[in-house]
Amino acid sequence: MPTPEPAIEVRNLTKRYGSHTAVQDVSFRVEAGETLVLLGPSGCGKTTLLRMLNRLVEPDSGVVLINGQHVRSQPPELLRRGIGYVIQQVGLLPHYTVAENVAVVPQLLGYAPAIIAARTAELLNRLHLPPERFAGQCPSQLSGGQQQRVGLARALAADPPVVLLDEPFGALDPITRASIRREFRELPELRRTTVVLVTHDVTEAFELADQILLLDAGRVQQLGPPRELLLRPANDFVRRFFAAEQLALQLRALRLTDVLTELPAADEKQFVSTIESTSSPLPPTASVQEALEQLSNTSTSAAGEPTVWVQLSESTARPLTYATLMAAFGRAVRRLATEA
């Protein structure tokens, strides 16, 4: 069967500024509906790479295809109407209301006013900006976090198949940042939208990425799913990049399915019917981090130790304590790091 066409394909992109090479021979593919995160230290070329996708920067060599079409085959303005774009500075039009800002691209594309109004209201509601309060306000009346939400709504308003985000949550405090990130991740639009996102925040990358492209000095250091970079770093740079947050990232990256196989064989009698278990069982797709969070909120059981339950089948669940979970987690990390 032929593989489906990737939503974005980049081949051998290079960009130089004078004698400095900002991006060197970078290639990648992003499948439709996937999120690729461009990650790396300041000045490594993330923004330059992103801006070559919508022709805000023209490469010295290499090609970019979006849905199989060379981006150079379209005038930049037309190309950009079909690609959502969000930057850290938001860039809302100051004299337009929130609703007018969100409607900019749908209007350029000639959507009917009633459709634009409905779509604007839908997106503002979803991003927790009730239109009855916010639609008529100007950007200067909004907080930084609210402006970022309007920026996201604007980028998604015309339902573009591809959205590019450059540090979209960058200017926010950590709590607002985490909550907008959660809202963004849960937007139903994202399931059908292909996203390329620039960040230097490792946690953000792990929360949002299907694939991470880690850059250093304009070159790709590793490209793959987050857990692959974490568990099987391609070189010392990759290893060092994640070293400070290694454990926290592993706890988020590993699922209970990864650790279940590492648990000691158990007497079936220890399993209970899910109906009997005290708290709601975790699905096996839950992360180890989620299990730890539930454990820390669980009161001591009759057996004397906090226990959470992981669902094994429709009718059975297995108990996990801190000790069994962490021992199995340690073994799973070692196994995954050595698996081919």
Binding residues (CB under 6 A) for ligand ATP: these are: 17, 20, 22, 40, 42-48, 200
Taking alpha carbons only, the member of 96, 145, 141, 146 closest to residue 124 is 146
CA distance 258 to 332: 6
Q: Which residues pair with 212 in a beta bridge?
A: 37, 224
Q: Are 67 and 5 in contact (CB under 8 A)?
A: yes
Q: Are 119 and 106 in contact (CB under 8 A)?
A: yes
Which of residues 17 and 266 has its CB atom nearest to ligand ATP in the complex? Answer: 17
Task: Give least dist CB 19 to ligand ATP, A.
Answer: 11
Taking alpha carbons only, the member of 142, 119, 205, 135 closest to residue 170 is 205
Which of residues 223 and 320 has its CB atom nearest to ligand ATP in the complex? Answer: 223
Task: Give least dist CB 44 to ligand ATP, A.
Answer: 4
Task: Give least dist CB 62 to ligand ATP, A.
Answer: 15
Residues 6+ apart with CB under 8 A from 6: 29, 30, 31, 32, 65
Which of residues 26 and 317 has its CB atom nearest to ligand ATP in the complex? Answer: 26
Task: Give least dist CB 212 to ligand ATP, A.
Answer: 14
Q: Residue 63: how many CA atoms within 13 Å on its side-chain side?
A: 10
Between vectors from CA 292 to CA 334 and to CA 338, what angle results, nearest 5°? 10
Task: Give least dist CB 175 to ligand ATP, A.
Answer: 22
Which of residues 41 and 136 has its CB atom nearest to ligand ATP in the complex? Answer: 41
Which of residues 220 and 231 has its CB atom nearest to ligand ATP in the complex? Answer: 220
Render 60-114 in DSSP notation, one character per residue.
SEEEEEETTEEGGGS-HHHHHHTEEEEETT----TTS-HHHHHTHHHHHTT--HH
Taking alpha carbons only, the member of 202, 207, 200 closest to residue 45 is 200
- 316: tokens are 């059975």
Task: Give least dist CB 65 to ligand ATP, A.
Answer: 21
Which of residues 216 and 245 has its CB atom nearest to ligand ATP in the complex? Answer: 216
Task: Give least dist CB 311 to ligand ATP, A.
Answer: 41
Which of residues 41 and 113 has its CB atom nearest to ligand ATP in the complex? Answer: 41
